[in-house]
Amino acid sequence: MPQTKRDYYEVLGVDRGASPAELKRAYRALAMRYHPDRNPGDHTSEENFKEIGEAYQVLSDPDRRQRYDSFGHAGEAMGGSAGFNFQSAFDLFDMFFAGGSPGQRRRGGPQRGNDLQLQVTIDFEEAIRGVSRTFDLTRYAACAECAGSGARAGTQAVACSDCAGQGQVQRVRQSLLGQMVTVEACPRCHGEGKMIESPCANCHGQGLVEAAKEVEVQIPPGVDNEMRVRVPGEGAGGPRGGPPGDLYLLISVRPHEELQRRGMTIVYECPITFSQAALGDTIEVPTVDGPVSMVVKPASQYGQQVRIPGKGAPDPRTGRRGDQVVRLRVVIPSRLTARERELLLELAPPDGKPHPVRKGFFENLKDVIGL
Ligand SMILES: [Zn+2]
Ligand SMILES: [Zn+2]
């Protein structure tokens, strides 16, 4: 039970700023006193012995101690593998420590919360027109009981006495080159300048608790695959009352059955028959706004492009829409009726020679078939 778990420093009977040597001394003394061999059958001693061991294990490891100092027992759980429920989309550890390891953390209490990213799949048309999506987001948010301070209600974090709340201490060293003054993060408060003497029970001094929230996001028109949409302030809450991070939606667009996207241009590969290409036609082609009529000019060549202005994707910043490009693909029938075969043989009997497209070719063709 994390709520009833005693503070590790309290367990070892040492100050929060205790040096590794002091920790070791305290641990040894207590371990000797509560060792099961010395207290056979004494259940309380056995529990104490375990508690001391656990406290020492955590506090003797610099990383784990730092985490514990920052987030209490919940922080300890972050680093461990057992019994902790990681969010599928976000790694909790990253959530807290984005922007450097705890040891490199900038001085000063509040930190901005981590950015979160969600993968979102939308339809082709939704990407063009924009769409609103609602997410049930569970992330860390400021603890309501302590307003994110981490200090028990009615108490406050107090200025660290070792550094007078500065978070930094000056150290003077004698070296071969003379006196060297260095400024280091205060070891007692680990650069925070403040210390929480009585942590909030609800958040174990973290200032953050897991909270679910419904977030509605307006995805702007024109987004494309792999684009990220930023939702300011909907990321994880900031430790020690810091501002929240941002939420990012990583967009993935479902492909359309007929249309393809090339930036702001939408491409449609349009199958037409030989006679439509040769004689011209007015055909209906699909666009994201529904079918539109398009003129295929007589003598259109295979692969020729017809532009339909304003039917492309909008620029997400300006809203200006691109064009749709229709590429004409002349389809050769896979099967001919006897009549078609007869007509083709009459029109252009195979003659064993290549037929490069030349100017006037289709004009002549039109004459041949009587137009
Ligand atoms: Zn709290
Ligand atoms: Zn300090």
Distances (CA, A) of 235 to 79, 114, 137: 21, 6, 9
- Choose between 16 and 349: higher pLDDT: 349
Q: For residue 76, is it within any domain?
A: no
Does 128 map to a domain? Answer: no
Rounded mean pLDDT of 339-347? Answer: 92
Judged by its nearest atom, the ligand closest to the C-alpha of residue 165 is: 2
pLDDT score at 191: 81
pTM to 2 decimal places: 0.57
Q: What is the pLDDT of residue 35?
A: 83
Ligand index nearest the alpha carbon of residue 142:
1
Query: What does the pLDDT look like over 298-323, one tens digit per residue?
Result: 999 988 999 999 999 998 888 899 99
Q: Is 172 helix (H, G, I), strand (E, B) or coil?
A: strand
Nearest listed ligand to the Cα of residue 158: 2
What is the pLDDT at residue 255?
96
154 C-alpha vs ligand 1 centroid, how far in Å? 11
Ligand nearest to the CA of 200: 1
- Checking if the pLDDT of 166 tops 50, the result is yes
Number of structural domains in the chain = 1
DSSP string, 326-354: EEEEEPPPSS--HHHHHHHHHHS---SS-
What CATH number does residue 332 fall under? Answer: 2.60.260.20
- Answer yes or no: is 291 within a domain: yes
Residue that wins the pLDDT comparison between 358 and 18: 18
For residue 145, give the ligand nearest its CA: 1
Q: Which ligand is nearest to the CA of 209?
A: 1
pLDDT of residue 361: 53
Q: Please report which confidence band the pLDDT of residue 370 belongs to, taking 50, 70 and 90 as the band edges.
A: very low
Is pLDDT above 80 for 188? yes
Cα(200) to ligand 1 centroid in Å equals 5
The residues, any chain, with a CB within 8 Å of residue 45's CB and separated by 6 or more, are 34, 35, 36, 38, 39
Q: How far is the CA of 170 from the centre of ligand 2 (A)?
A: 11
Burial 38-65 (b: 16+ CB within 10 A, else e): eeeeeeebeebbebbeebbebbeeeebb
Indicate whether 345 pLDDT > 90: yes
Give residue 279's Cα distance to chain centre.
53
Average pLDDT over residues 321-334: 94
Ligand nearest to the backbone CA of 199: 1
Which amino acid is it at 225?
N
End-to-end CA distance of the chain, in Å?
A: 90
Cβ 118 vs Cβ 237: under 8 Å:
no
Q: What is the per-residue pLDDT across 275-302, written as a single tens digit (0 to 9) for each?
A: 999 999 999 999 999 999 999 999 999 8
Q: Name beta bridge partners: 247.
A: 116, 231
Average pLDDT value for the chain: 82
Tell me the pLDDT band of 359, cut-offs 50, 70 and 90.
Answer: low
Of 104-118, 148-162, 211-225, 251-265, minimum mean pLDDT range? 104-118
| CA of residue 117 to ligand 1 center, whole Å | 25
Ligand nearest to the CA of 211: 1
Distance 160 CA to ligand 2 centre (A): 4
Closest to 269 in 3D by CA, of 261, 279, 259, 278: 259
11 in a domain, yes or no?
no
Query: Could you tell me if residue 199 is inside a domain?
Result: no
Confirm whether 309 is domain-assigned: yes
pLDDT band at 363 (very low <50, low <70, confident <90, very high): low
Distance 77 CA to ligand 2 centre (A): 25
pLDDT at 87: 32
| Containing structural domain, residue 271 | 259-368
**Cβ-based neighbour number of residue 326 at 10 Å:** 25
Residue 277 lies in a domain: yes
Residue 176 lies in a domain: no
- Ligand 1 centre distance from Cα of residue 115 (Å): 21
Could you count the other beta carbons within 10 Å of the beta carbon of residue 332?
8
Confidence of residue 95 (pLDDT cuts 50, 70, 90): very low
244 and 96 Cβ atoms separated by less than 8 Å: no
